[in-house]
């Protein structure tokens, strides 16, 4: 996907004909008032100065746009412009080869090129030699270009270098005490120029500046420091954030009512208790008896004392609970380790607090004692268990009840392991796995992956980088950290080392990084 065919969702949401903030948009020409004097200065120095001319500014400062304006504003009949790139051909041989090919010179040497320049001068044509990405020129290439700029008494080309500020130190080292070049440093846009720039970008894509409020324009200008390349990134980030926010706002929850599972289980437990209590309501008929084994069902009339059920030979009656109340005897509660409740205070099904089913019917002979959760007196001598009916039983030695089994504790679900991103990792996998609403701090961009790797290795910690395409060329963008809000990212910038802050780092959303990674693919 190219920069002119951005994500369809982004274009469709804002009804754009193309991505307004793509690096290269055909037909787009924005030249603020402050750059016009710079353009005039370049034309003036080309005519009257014998020095090599250097135009510097950070990445995305508009150097390429100025170079295009310089070529477009020359008289094509009197000036032949030769544009070469130092990217991938930064040595003397690579640069001279491009110049010789453009001027139709068979030998890629300074003397042969100068002879051709002199011949063109005799026909009334000057030669403008413009070099993009000049910060990538090595020492041999800079020496060759200085020699061409000096020329001969008969003629010389006008050499312009467009690059980052690191280029100046290389030229100073080669020149020594001689004055061989002149530097023009580009200045960032003012806030009003930023607004005009945004308006022209949006109008070219079929929309207007009304997409941004005045406060948003101020924020974009402040975050970008007025550099057009960074304005593009920050403005696009703001539009993507607004798109995501609007799409999240229109989402509605699913219709219908779904009760949480734990509530369903709790209600089930209450129903079980209610059914058990219903059997204890006064007035119900006695249960049928079997010949030779009479049994009685206890009835609990309201307002009367609670009847007792007495274990044979225990000598201690046990009170039944009131009608409708769940039973949790002391020893059982202690064994269970307390009552476990859900978030709403209702005991959870299967927990130690789930009330048991209660019946007062005496079990048949042979059933182990201890079914009712009661604590009888300790017995000195074990004896076979005999359970009496509601009538008094003959005196006998007490029988120890079977020990109450300790309820099995529900196994605690294993916690889901938290994945921690490895700091300093390269590539797109880390960025694509992060929440789109998070923020990272963009430190800098470089055309050399080796430089990006060296920077990340030197700083360590939360530094990492990803690859994108800018102006049709690879760019390696270094970021720092992972923050849940813009405010947190801005606070982190203030704590960065001074040399890192010198590059004017700025916060951006993970969504914007993911969008750039998608367009790069």
Q: Check residues 369 and 273 and name the one with the higher pLDDT.
A: 273
If asked whether residues 174 and 63 sit together in one domain, one would say yes
Domain residues for the domain of 512 are 429-520
Q: Name, in order, each residue with C-beta under 8 angstroms of 187's C-beta and a sequence gap of 6 or more.
A: 34
Whether 375 is in a domain gets the answer no
Residue 130 phi/psi, 5° resolution?
-115, 130
Residues 231 and 113 occupy one common structural domain:
no
Give domain status of residue 237, yes or no.
yes
* In a shared domain, residues 66 and 158: yes
Is 77's pLDDT higher than 70? yes
CA distance 469 to 518: 11
Positive or negative, the Cα torsion across 344, 251, 22, 504? Answer: negative
Question: CA-to-CA distance for 55 and 69, rounded, in angstroms?
Answer: 13
Q: Do residues 291 and 302 touch, judged by C-beta distance below 8 A? A: no
Q: What pLDDT score does 275 carry?
A: 66
d(CA 157, CA 162) in angstroms, rounded, equals: 16
Buried b (16+ CB within 10 A) or exposed e, 7-21: beebbebbebebbbb
Q: Is residue 398 part of a domain?
A: no
Give the pLDDT confidence score for residue 428 in this predicted structure. 76
Tell me which of 205, 224, 250 is where a domain ends. 250
Domain-terminating residue out of 208, 234, 250: 250
What is the model's pLDDT at position 391? 44
Those residues with Cβ within 8 angstroms of residue 327's Cβ, 6 or more apart along the chain or in another chain: 321, 355, 356, 358, 373
| Predicted TM-score of the model (pTM) | 0.49
**DSSP letter, residue 408:** P
CA–CA gap between residue 280 and residue 394 (Å, rounded): 27
User: What's the pLDDT score for residue 408?
Assistant: 47
280 belongs to a structural domain: no
Say whether both 51 and 16 belong to one domain: no
Please state, as a whole number, how many other Cβ atoms lie within 10 Å of the Cβ of residue 63. 22
Ranges 297-301, 451-455, 471-475, 488-492: which has the least confidence: 297-301
Q: Which residues are within 8 A (CB) of 255 and not within 5 positions of it... i.e. 6 or more apart?
A: none
pLDDT at 102 over 50: yes
180 and 198 together in one domain: no
* CB neighbour burial string for 194-221, b if at least 16 within 10 angstroms, e if fewer: bbbbbbebbebbebebebbeeebbebbb
Sign of CA dihedral 193, 196, 200, 206: positive
Mean pLDDT taken over the chain: 74
Q: Specify whether 152 is located in the same domain as 222.
A: no
**Within this chain, do residues 48 and 128 fall inside the same structural domain, yes or no?**
yes
Residues 6+ apart with CB under 8 A from 488: 439
Given this model, what pLDDT does residue 354 score?
41
Average pLDDT over residues 242-260: 62
Task: Give the mean model confidence (pLDDT) for residues 385-410.
Answer: 45
Express each pLDDT in 253-264 by its tens digit.
544 445 555 555
- Please check whether residues 169 and 210 belong to one and the same domain: no
Cα–Cα distance for residue pair 478/463, rounded to 1 Å: 7
Residue 441: closest CA among 479, 473, 403, 478: 479
Asked whether residue 516 is domain-assigned, the answer is yes
In a domain? residue 385 = no
147 CB neighbour count, 10 Å cutoff = 17
Q: Where are the beta strands (DSSP E) in 35-125?
A: 52-56, 79-85
The Cα–Cα gap between 472 and 24 comes to 8
The domain total for the chain is: 3
* Concatenated DSSP letters of 291-335: TTB--------TTSPPPEEEBTTT--EEEPPPTTPPP--HHHHHH
The reply to whether 94 and 180 lie within a common domain is yes
Domain assignment present for residue 148? The answer is: yes
| Residues 128 and 175 placed together within one structural domain of the fold | yes
- Asked whether residue 97 is domain-assigned, the answer is yes
Structure tokens at 366: 């042979």
**Any bridge partners for residue 126, and if so which?**
79
User: Same structural domain for residues 89 and 171?
Assistant: yes
Q: Do 174 and 217 share a domain, yes or no? A: no
Asked if 161 and 134 count as a contact pair (C-beta separation under 8 A), the reply is: yes
CATH of the domain at 104: 3.40.50.300
What angle (nearest 5°) sits at the alpha carbon of residue 441, between those of residues 440 and 447? 110
Query: CATH number, domain at 437?
Result: 3.30.70.1070
Hey, is 473 helix, strand or coil?
strand
């Amino acid at each position: 996907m190219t920069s002119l065919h951005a994500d369809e969702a982004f274009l469709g949401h804002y009804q754009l004909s193309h991505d307004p903030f793509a690096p290269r948009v055909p037909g787009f020409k924005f030249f603020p008032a402050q750059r016009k004097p710079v353009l005039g200065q370049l034309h003036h120095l080309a005519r009257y100065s014998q020095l090599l001319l250097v135009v510097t500014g950070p990445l995305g400062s508009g150097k390429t746009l100025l170079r295009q304006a310089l070529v477009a504003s020359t008289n094509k009949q009197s000036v032949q412009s030769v544009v070469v790139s130092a990217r991938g051909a930064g040595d003397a041989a690579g640069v001279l080869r491009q110049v010789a090919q453009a001027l139709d010179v068979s030998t890629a040497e300074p003397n042969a090129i100068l002879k051709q320049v002199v011949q063109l001068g005799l026909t009334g044509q000057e030669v403008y030699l413009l070099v993009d990405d000049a910060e990538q020129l090595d020492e041999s290439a800079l020496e060759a270009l200085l020699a061409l700029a000096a020329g001969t008494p008969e003629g010389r080309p006008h050499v312009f270098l467009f690059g980052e500020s690191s280029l100046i130190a290389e030229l100073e080292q080669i020149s020594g005490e001689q004055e061989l070049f002149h530097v023009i440093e580009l200045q960032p846009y003012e806030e009003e120029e930023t607004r005009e720039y945004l308006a022209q970008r949006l109008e070219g894509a079929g929309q207007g500046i009304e997409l941004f409020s005045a406060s948003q324009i101020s924020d974009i200008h402040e975050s970008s420091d007025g550099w057009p390349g960074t304005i593009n990134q920050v403005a696009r980030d703001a539009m993507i954030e607004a798109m995501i926010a609007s799409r999240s706002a229109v989402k509605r929850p699913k219709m219908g009512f779904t009760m949480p599972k734990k509530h369903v289980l709790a209600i089930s437990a209450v129903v079980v208790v209610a059914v058990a209590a219903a059997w204890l309501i006064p007035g119900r008929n006695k249960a049928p008896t079997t010949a030779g084994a009479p049994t009685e069902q206890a009835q609990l009339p309201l307002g009367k004392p609670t009847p007792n059920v007495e274990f044979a030979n225990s000598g201690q009656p046990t009170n039944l609970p009131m009608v409708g109340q769940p039973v949790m005897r002391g020893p059982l509660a202690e064994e269970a380790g307390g009552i476990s409740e859900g978030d709403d205070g209702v005991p959870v099904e299967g927990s130690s607090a789930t009330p048991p089913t209660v019946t007062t019917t005496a079990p048949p002979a042979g059933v182990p004692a201890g079914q009712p959760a009661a604590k009888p007196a300790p017995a000195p001598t074990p004896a076979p268990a005999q359970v009496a009916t509601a009538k008094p039983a003959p005196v006998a030695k007490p029988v120890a009840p079977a020990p109450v089994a300790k309820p099995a504790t529900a196994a605690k679900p294993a916690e889901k392991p938290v994945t921690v991103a490895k700091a300093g990792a390269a590539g797109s996998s880390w960025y694509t796995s992060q929440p789109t609403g998070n923020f990272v701090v963009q430190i800098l961009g470089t055309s050399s992956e080796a430089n990006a790797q060296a920077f990340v290795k030197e700083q360590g910690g939360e530094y990492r980088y990803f690859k994108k395409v800018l102006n049709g060329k690879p760019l390696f963008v270094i970021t720092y950290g992972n923050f849940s809000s813009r405010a947190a990212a801005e606070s982190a910038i203030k704590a960065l080392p001074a040399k890192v802050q010198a590059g004017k780092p700025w916060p951006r959303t993970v969504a914007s990084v993911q969008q750039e990674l998608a367009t790069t693919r």
